[in-house]
Structure 1
Amino acid sequence: MRKYEGILIFLPTLEEEKRVQLFNRFKGIIEADGSIANVDEWGIRKLAYLIDDIGEGYYILVNFEATPEVVKEIDRVARISDGIMRHMIIREEE
């Protein structure tokens, strides 16, 4: 298992209940074949540049350990989810 750090940027207009459901989906993917070390909700922050004419996003930072297959699945789900504006997952140094 490898250590990763992921950032998810949700639409700021997304209802809290839907955001929690979507984030729980990501947590389920990670916990199925890994473990979450830390979840840090940054809340609504201003974006460095506009994305589809939207200037803010709801940020959640996740530190976790998982296999590369889990990262691929998170990437796939984030791409098809309407509530996610952007996401990035990087592998932490050992």
Structure 2
Amino acid sequence: MMTRYEELILLSPELGVEECREIVNNFSAIVEREGGTVLKVDDWGVKDTAYPVRKFNRGRYVRMEMNMPGKAVAELERNVRITDGVFKFITVRLAETPAAATEEA
């Protein structure tokens, strides 16, 4: 079963645009290899962080939205952890039907 996930990745500000694009393409290939699809990739650019993270005050934010099976999350996160240049990330499972959640409130 496919579930919708969002991955927010914080990359080193010292990386070039091409290096960041290559990292994101590698993550997209992992998602597709595991049977998922990447729906959207948003590169938010280099922004200030709220607090220093591994001695960085700035980082390149990249948001990926994808449909993938649950077992693919572990493989994606494993690869994110061992990739040089990534210093923070979070994976969030998105609501199946956002409209239904607002109707109940």
Same fold (TM over 0.5): yes
**SS of structure 2 residue aligned to 1:38:** strand
Task: Specify the SS of the correspondent of 1:28.
Answer: helix
- Computed over aligned residues only, the root mean square deviation of the Cα atoms, in angstroms, reads 1.0
**How many equivalent residue pairs?**
94
2:74 matched residue in structure 1: 72
Runs of 4+ residues deviating >3 angstroms: none
Instruction: Supply the distance in 2 between the matched residues of 1:84 and 1:45 (Cα, whole angstroms).
Output: 15
Q: What residue number does 1:11 align with?
A: 12
- 14-23 vs 80-89, greater mean Cα deviation: 14-23
The within-5 A match list for 1:1-94 is 1-32=2-33, 33-94=35-96
- Normalised by the length of structure 1, the TM-score is 0.94
Q: Distance in 2 between matches of 1:19 and 1:39?
A: 12
* Structure with max Cα Rg: 2
Shift of 1:93: 1.0
Give 5+ residue unaligned stretches, structure 2: 97-105
In the superposition, the TM-score normalised over structure 2's length comes to: 0.84
Unaligned runs of 5+ in 1: none
Write the deviation string for residues 33-52 of structure 1: whole angstroms up to 9, x where unpaired: 11111111100111011012
